[in-house]
Amino acid sequence: MPPKPVSTAAECRSGVSKVETQHSFLNMVVQALTAGIFVPMTIKATCASGSRSAIPGEPEIKVGGNPTEEQVIDAFRRAADLAVETGGPVYVRF
């Protein structure tokens, strides 16, 4: 069951620079007790300070102009998966 979408448009005028998902010890206990059916997590979004280019060589997901809500959700899911895979930051560009 995926987490609820995070709506940051009203709070982050320059966009989002970083999205982090965190699992606390208690979250992992709940996950173990439910055999992985329910995996609670905390999502933290950090607002961007202005336009910034991705660091050369760092992974980047390009969304494009005027994306749909589904495209934005998909971009952040792909970015989260890639961040877990690489162990580093992934930039999402609109």
Q: What φ, ψ does residue 65 adopt, rounded to 5°?
A: -80, 150
Q: What is the pLDDT of residues 9-49, one digit of tens each?
A: 677 777 777 878 887 888 888 888 988 788 877 888 888 77
Q: Say whether pLDDT at 52 is over 60.
A: no
DSSP letter string, 38-69: ----EEEEEE--S--PPPTTS-EEE--SS--H
Reported pTM: 0.43
pLDDT of residue 27: 81
Mean pLDDT of 73-84: 90
